[in-house]
Chains A and B, each alone.
Chain A
Amino acid sequence: MSVAILREGDYLIAAILSDLTDTEVVELRGELIELVGRYRSRGLVIDVSALDVIDSFVARALRSIVLTVRLRGAHTVIAGIQPDVAIALVQFRLNLGPLRAALDLDAARALLDQLAGGEAEDGR
């Protein structure tokens, strides 16, 4: 599968490197949920900057990863949604409710620091 997954301290970074089939998207979801538990990750970044299409299936899978990983104790940030993809997602009117997004990997790490760091105070 063309996804590079690396562990970076408390965080897990999954960079999607090329367009994925639906089957690969489902496999990725399973793998990330498993790895977040194995590495006791507190944050997950999914870098989607290589995806030039995010359709309803991928959007739903991302949403499902976010919600599931949250139940395993970690926050997720989606990094690098391309501008044209962002326009398509909005025009499509996909429900991206729980998704947190950041411009790139650095911004995603900073957002995770906030989300995971703020844990104790706001109790979320």
Chain B
Amino acid sequence: MADEVRVVIADDADLVTARAEARAMAERLGFPRPDPTLIATAISEIARNIVVHSGGGEIVLKPLEDANRYGLMVIATDAGPGIRDVEAALRDDYSGRGGLGLGLPGARRLMDEFAVVSQTGRGTTITMTMWCKEGQR
């Protein structure tokens, strides 16, 4: 199984890297179309969230495998101010600083699993996963 990939997210050039790395890993793992594009798009949103709201963080791309399926897990962490109301941030009408509120609910719709853990003043961790059943490979 492929190793995990770590991408440091500090400025908008790192979004380009994160998108490319995500697509490369999804393709390497054998995800069918359009999944690599969906994953790359979701990563772009959460990477931008890190740049705009916290100034920096990192994204880890992790291959997963269990008995009858494989997947790609994305863990995005930052040490920024945190999201005060996570429920609200995941609603479509929410618009945080810079009007980027669309990003999180959109990214959630692209992935199979999506979880946000945030502590005010300590940072945010977003974990999202896309699964692929063996039969689809």
CB distance A21 to B15 under 8 Å?
Answer: yes
For the residues of B in contact with A, the DSSP-based class is: helix
> Contact mask A55-70 → B, CB, 8 Å, 1/0?
1110000000000000
Q: Tell me which residues from 68 to 94 in chain A have a Cβ below 8 Å from any Cβ of chain B.
A: 82-85, 87-88, 91-94
CB distance B23 to A88 under 8 Å?
Answer: no
Is A10 an interface residue, CB under 8 A from the partner? no
CB distance B19 to A56 under 8 Å?
Answer: no
Min CB distance, A20 to chain B, in Å? Answer: 8
Chain B residues with Cβ below 8 Å from A52 are 23, 37, 40
Docked complex Cα distance between A87 and B107 (Å): 13
Min CB distance, B34 to chain A, in Å? Answer: 4
Docked complex Cα distance between A87 and B48 (Å): 21
Docked complex Cα distance between A92 and B16 (Å): 19
CB distance A92 to B13 under 8 Å?
Answer: no
The 6 A-B residue pairs whose C-beta atoms are closest, nearest first, are: A84-B34, A84-B37, A92-B106, A55-B44, A22-B12, A21-B12
- What would 20 A/B residue contacts be, using CB atoms closer than 8 Å? A22-B15, A52-B23, A52-B40, A53-B23, A53-B37, A53-B40, A55-B45, A56-B100, A56-B106, A57-B48, A57-B100, A83-B34, A84-B37, A85-B37, A87-B38, A88-B37, A88-B41, A92-B106, A92-B109, A93-B106
Q: Interface residues, chain A, CB within 8 Å of chain B?
A: 19-23, 52-57, 82-85, 87-88, 91-94
Q: Interface residues, chain B, CB within 8 Å of chain A?
A: 12-13, 15-16, 19-20, 23, 33-34, 36-38, 40-41, 44-45, 48, 92, 100, 102-103, 106-107, 109-110
